[in-house]
Structure 1
């Protein structure tokens, strides 16, 4: 109901917003206050710093927004133009955000990452953007991760950018899904970033809007990349035998967008250091791109565990590379602890196919190995919850 009201209000204000095309002008007044706000964040890193003396009243107000005292002092010190002595306007901003569905955690996130929003006129600057995003069904929790969108011009940036994306993706649902994954992608310049990125996608083979749309929905962050980097990603995917017609292309492209080329090459080399060939790494990546997205130390820790503790060859592990995307502390170790308890109690055979047993969703694993035996072996619940630590399959010929 609320979103519908916002749509009707915006339809009256911005009649062209319904269509994907059209070049009608939007009679929305540019707000100098919002422009100054947006500009201030590009200079804060130069003018501010940890040695700046924060305003006590500002620190106190930020704490009231949910920040810890240390975070409040850091935020105030690194935003030298921020002064909140009278709380009337800041209270109005927070109240407005909450009235549009922002949680206390969302407000705290905004106060920490874009505190100058607390000093602007909420009705003139913030409310029109909230109406705009609400009319499209954007989630407040996602907007809170890119709060400076609330300071961008509707006429000059937000509406033209959304129309551009509509012309490619076709539906607001697709735009919402893409935005929810990388909210800050909507911050970049339409002419300097978005258009060149889309042109680069087309130049490298994604000639249909449907192909471009699929990539943008799964990885809107591509709009933040330079045409040169986009070209490198196409080259690297081609080198590993990935065709743009492959059904796995979009997800592989998505993963490559999230790292620099040097990072990609380093991760390939890391897996090779555990005995895998380059082609084996490539095949594993195509099956499960997220297997190469972890931090180097995390990948190394998992690989050493499988190779040194569980005595597997890395190529055996990477035959099902999804296992390398599991959390080591929250998934792999507790599951090993559960299986160890069950072996000790004679509920499962030590010659079980261990890697296969470790795979599957939390629901599948817990149903098969935890709740099934919980009545007879209460320790499996303790092990699954991490209360019984895995110390190896002692005396068990796994």
Structure 2
């Protein structure tokens, strides 16, 4: 055997041993399955177990469950190579300092562990400061980050002032801007082309920037492409809606465009064929399209049908849109408990649909 062949064989043997060691560590110490450990071992540097042991100990000291630790390692195995003292610990302390509880931090990191690789001073702190410049209250920033933890993955610092200026120039009030950032940070901090496209589409529908519906429409339109909007219009067209009806419904309840095609068809068919409503009447009350069929619309219709069949209520006194809007407790008091002595079966639609 030549010297070079011997060296190659020695290296290959060392690599096999190193790979086996890493797989064993990922399985035994981190809780990964054998298959997952094999696929992730190439991302792990393991000269000794000292550093990764320290990383795992740090997570446990900060309240991470074993399942959360396993999730972190599986999603971001390189975390085992990060310095626990210089890289990971300062970030965990930062999250604690801005108002995240121990359990919140563990949940956040386990859902998006790659953020531990982001620079604290160049990414995480500037992101937090940018959000705070709009939302002001620390509690609001924390709520925003809990809702859109991937904000830390966005380079938002350079676009904050520009986006705020654009919105203000259109006449969007600061309270609406604040709502938009907190409710849907990914809409507000989307790529420039995407942001302008959504803004232009909302304006083209005639939404008033001064009213809250404008920013609600931005969120809805950001979730719905133009082709999807056209497809939904054709669904409503099957029930006799005109383009003007469609626009009017969106103006009243922008989120109607985020309702799935199946849900739209199912709800409209039931309201028209089973309850007897006119499809055009729904234009003025499109919020009903978002209501649960099984938990609200069907059981309430069953109750009203029973009351009508026994003459306990009169058809001319029934407004289904008002009935569907009632809180559960109000509906129970007015239409179930009130007539329970005469018709104890009225409670059945609610118990059978839970």
State the TM-score, normalized to the length of structure 1: 0.65
- What CA distance in whole angstroms lies between the structure 1 residues aligned with 2:111 and 2:293? 27
- Offset, 1:384: 0.9
What per-residue deviation string (whole Å, max 9, x for no partner) do you get for residues 274-327 of structure 1?
321222222222222222212222222222222333332322123222211112
State the TM-score, normalized to the length of structure 2: 0.72
Unaligned runs of 5+ in 2: 1-22
The residue number in structure 2 matching 1:297 is 262
- Offset, 1:188: 1.0
- 1:240 and 2:202 are equivalent in the alignment: no
Picking from 71, 77, 92, the partner of 1:130 is 92
Picking from 273, 276, 295, the partner of 2:241 is 276
- Offset, 1:179: 2.5
- Offset, 1:369: 3.0
- What CA distance in whole angstroms lies between the structure 2 residues aligned with 1:74 and 1:348? 64
Q: Residue 338 of structure 1 contacts residue 384 of structure 1 at CA under 8 Å; is this kept in 2?
A: no
- Offset, 1:162: 1.4
Q: Residue 92 of structure 1 contacts residue 122 of structure 1 at CA under 8 Å; is this kept in 2?
A: no
Q: Residue 91 of structure 2 contacts residue 116 of structure 2 at CA under 8 Å; is this kept in 1?
A: yes
Q: Residue 295 of structure 2 contacts residue 350 of structure 2 at CA under 8 Å; is this kept in 1?
A: no
The residue number in structure 1 matching 2:133 is 167
Distance 1:209 1:124, change over 3 A: farther
- What CA distance in whole angstroms lies between the structure 2 residues aligned with 1:178 and 1:326? 26
Picking from 330, 348, 351, the partner of 2:295 is 330
- What CA distance in whole angstroms lies between the structure 1 residues aligned with 2:340 and 2:36? 48
Question: What are the equivalent positions in structure 2 for 1:199-218 lying under 5 Å apart?
Answer: 199-200=162-163, 202-203=165-166, 205-206=169-170, 210=174, 212-218=177-183
- What CA distance in whole angstroms lies between the structure 2 residues aligned with 1:90 and 1:372? 62
Runs of 4 or more off by more than 6 Å in structure 1?
59-62, 72-75, 82-87, 102-109
- Offset, 1:379: 3.0
The residue number in structure 1 matching 2:150 is 184
Q: Residue 174 of structure 1 contacts residue 217 of structure 1 at CA under 8 Å; is this kept in 2?
A: yes
The residue number in structure 1 matching 2:191 is 226
Distance 1:171 1:236, change over 3 A: same
1 or 2, which has the higher helix percentage? Answer: 2
The higher-RCO structure (CA 8 Å, 6+ apart) is 1
The residue number in structure 1 matching 2:325 is 359
Q: Residue 336 of structure 2 contacts residue 346 of structure 2 at CA under 8 Å; is this kept in 1?
A: yes
Q: How many residues of Structure 1 are paired with residues of Structure 2 in the alignment?
A: 322
The residue number in structure 2 matching 1:319 is 284
- Offset, 1:250: 2.0
For the residue of structure 2 that corresponds to 1:318, the secondary structure is: helix
168-177 or 149-158, which deviates more: 168-177
Picking from 226, 243, 248, the partner of 1:261 is 226
- What CA distance in whole angstroms lies between the structure 2 residues aligned with 1:142 and 1:303? 39
Larger radius of gyration: 2
Distance 1:209 1:340, change over 3 A: closer
Distance 1:88 1:325, change over 3 A: same
Q: Residue 374 of structure 1 contacts residue 380 of structure 1 at CA under 8 Å; is this kept in 2?
A: yes
- Offset, 1:158: 0.3
Unaligned runs of 5+ in 1: 1-54, 66-71, 389-398
- What CA distance in whole angstroms lies between the structure 1 residues aligned with 2:333 and 2:351? 14
Question: What are the equivalent positions in structure 2 for 1:25-104 lying under 5 Å apart?
Answer: 79=40, 81=42, 88=53, 92=57, 95-98=60-63
